[in-house]
Chain A
């Protein structure tokens, strides 16, 4: 068992769990979105780590280079980053509307107000 070969994956897990903890434990909706962003970037790193090949080059074909890293995860993740910021924007827009409608973005306040109806 080569433990150092798994170090990257463990850091990815640590990042992902940090994001998950923020999402679960914080009541502030913006903070939850920040947690989702952390979670999301950890998935990016998982993909890019899987695509990495030791002693290889950036996948741009060059004369005299034999080994390239895997281009497929790069494609998937680069589009995912742009889509990710677009969907985060939708989330933030929802938060803005919630703030305007309720005057608060703390989860406990929102639950209390919903129950008062």
Chain B
């Protein structure tokens, strides 16, 4: 049912010429997605999708639209070729699904390769209830290290592309409307300011809860990082870049983004020095399970630092480009 809603939203996104509306619909789409992911037992993923889709990515696209203009140009003719390609691909894929095992059956082959081991052994090997956290930080530690590095690298790329000063003089562009002087923030809206002041500490508190309670309930570094970033982005939207970067300076964030990745890598090296393999947390403490706890705690802290700093810095970069000082 929700999947049906999702598709309707997707179609609405595809049809409109107004990119602002498409962005807002994309946020709505993410909210539907999060609900659906929860129904599919993927609580950790639902957290992430809600914070990323409805928070971070919406803000990023909006800041871009401010620079590139809100409306796309109508296409000259119906795109029969595109439609044809899409229909043929769809038909092929649907033909492919006929061989797939039915949805939700416990004996499907996907559930019986490594998943059995994760579910049955992780309680004794890792000792924490949230299997998603165990797999993320310990069994697939290399993978997660790589993903964290990708987030960091993407941050570097964005900062290199749009982090610096804009070349002067600016070429005049006709589609960008002139910005009203001083009207860049929603500073005059009393209700927004008061409500967000009340909400931001709670969101930050929730982010820390998600970070440190991630072993026992849905949560962990990635989720906490994006939720924390969402709180700061709310502040950014309401109070403007100058005010937010006084509280969370970009220089500090650049440091913490690198520090998080360094912590993750450092835990791996520490394990090497303690006589184990890279990212083998068993050797970090006298008792293997205690070692796993320590390792996962440190690694998740590193992930949280890098993800939160990277997301906030991304938003800063897009905002600063849109409003040259």
Contact = CB atoms under 8 A, between A and B. Distances in A.
Contacts, number: 288
Contacts of B216: 60
Interface string A20-57: 11101111111101110110010011001111111011
Interface residues on B, range: 35 or more
Contact of B158 (A30, A89, A104): A89
Interface in A44-80: 44-45, 48-54, 56-62, 67-80
Contact of A96 (B13, B68, B122, B155): B68
A6 interface: yes
Contact of A31 (B72, B79, B225): B72
A115 interface: no
Given A15-B10, A17-B90, A54-B106, A59 B119 contact: yes
Contacts of B67: 96, 99
Nearest to A33: B61
Interface in B111-145: 111, 114-115, 118-119, 122-123, 129-132, 134-136, 140, 143-144
B52 interface: yes
Interface residues of A, number: 85
Contacts of A37: 26, 57
B90 A13 contact: yes
A85 B61 CA distance: 10
A95 interface: yes
Interface string B67-83: 11100110100010011
Contacts of A117: none
Contacts of B321: 96
B33 A93 contact: no
A21 B7 CA distance: 14
Contact of A78 (B4, B106, B136, B157): B136
Interface of A: 1-2, 5-11, 13-22, 24-31, 33-35, 37-38, 41, 44-45, 48-54, 56-62, 67-90, 92-97, 99-100, 103-106
Interface of B: 3-4, 6-7, 10-11, 13-14, 19, 22-23, 26, 29-30, 33, 36-37, 40-45, 48-49, 52-53, 56-57, 60-61, 64-65, 67-69, 72-73, 75, 79, 82-83, 85-87, 89-90, 93-94, 97-98, 100-106, 108, 110-111, 114-115, 118-119, 122-123, 129-132, 134-136, 140, 143-144, 147, 150-151, 154-155, 157-158, 161-162, 166-167, 170-171, 173-175, 216-218, 222-223, 225-226, 307, 310-311, 314, 317-318, 321
9 tightest CB-CB pairs across the interface, nearest first? A5-B102, A28-B72, A86-B154, A54-B104, A69-B41, A25-B79, A25-B82, A24-B82, A93-B161
12 contacts: A5-B105, A6-B103, A11-B4, A16-B93, A25-B75, A30-B72, A44-B45, A48-B37, A48-B42, A50-B108, A54-B105, A96-B321
